[in-house]
């Protein structure tokens, strides 16, 4: 449904829920008339299962958008199906790059080598923007501890014409891990193999002990962000310490 005065709504929502817990923020976001029609966007990555579980408890039929870039690790694809089944998620929508656009711009699957930003735009940003067209806003798993632009991350923010909800904004890394342990949630199999942050296979390497958790993402490149998160409608680049 069309909603007006997004900036005012963001201010009102942040004021109303500033002292609430992550679960309370998520629960209210799913029922508050000011938030509109929402979806959860999930990478089914290293920490994603915590928020996915929280959603499954509150509304397992909430649409969940999963971007299959067609360059993901096989383990991620298997994990996505296993988690969706285990949590009984009723509306997981797997998004793919546009076939004609792939043929025209990356028919050999090598665009990531010469233009990683262009590859992410083709395989992630563009499919997501198309899918978000039917929603008033989206829920993310971003957190303040991930650093960069996220250090002051609020529960609610404006993303162009869309509302963005960040229920885990104030969680620490330990909070995420504790929640996963307490709820006996399955871990992404690549985490145990040295991948604390997981993206597409060609652009993700293992991380050595002592390295930043995101050191393996686009290693040896200036690129640090895939581009699906925006401020005022523009892609924000954040330091290598930031998360998905």
Catalytic residues, which ones? 226
Question: Residues 117, 227: contact at Cβ < 8 Å?
Answer: yes
**Phi and psi for 191 in degrees, rounded to 5?**
-60, -45
Using alpha carbons, list the distances in angstroms from residue 199 to 50, 55, 164, 167, 168. Answer: 18, 22, 22, 22, 20
Strand order in the sheet with 92-95: 92-95, 64-67, 38-41, 137-139, 162-165, 156-159
Beta-carbon neighbour count of residue 74 at 10 Å?
8
Q: List residues bridging with 138 in a β-sheet.
A: 39, 164
Measure the CA–CA gap between 226 and 236, rounded to whole angstroms. 9
Q: Positive or negative, the Cα torsion across 73, 77, 83, 89?
A: positive
């Amino acid at each position: 449904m069309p909603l007006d005065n997004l900036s005012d709504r963001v201010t009102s929502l942040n004021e109303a829920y500033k002292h609430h817990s992550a679960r309370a923020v998520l629960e209210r976001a799913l029922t508050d008339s000011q938030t509109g029609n929402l979806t959860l966007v999930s990478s089914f990555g290293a920490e994603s299962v915590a928020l996915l579980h929280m959603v499954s408890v509150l509304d397992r039929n909430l649409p969940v958008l999963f971007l299959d870039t067609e360059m993901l690790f096989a383990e991620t694809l298997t994990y996505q199906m296993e988690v969706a089944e285990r949590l009984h998620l009723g509306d997981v929508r797997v998004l793919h790059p546009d076939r004609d656009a792939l043929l025209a711009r990356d028919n050999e699957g090598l665009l990531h080598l010469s233009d990683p930003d262009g590859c992410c735009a083709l395989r992630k940003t563009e499919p997501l923007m198309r899918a978000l067209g039917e929603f008033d806003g989206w829920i993310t798993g971003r957190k303040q501890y991930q650093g960069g632009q996220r250090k002051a991350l609020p529960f609610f923010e404006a993303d162009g014409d869309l509302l963005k909800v960040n229920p885990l904004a104030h969680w620490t890394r330990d909070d995420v891990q504790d929640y996963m342990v307490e709820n006996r949630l399955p871990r992404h199999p690549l985490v145990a193999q040295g991948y604390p942050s997981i993206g597409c296979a060609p652009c993700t390497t293992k991380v050595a002990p002592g390295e930043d958790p995101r050191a393996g993402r686009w290693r040896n490149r200036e690129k640090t962000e895939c581009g699906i998160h925006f401020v005022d409608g523009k892609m924000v680049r954040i330091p290598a310490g930031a998360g998905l």
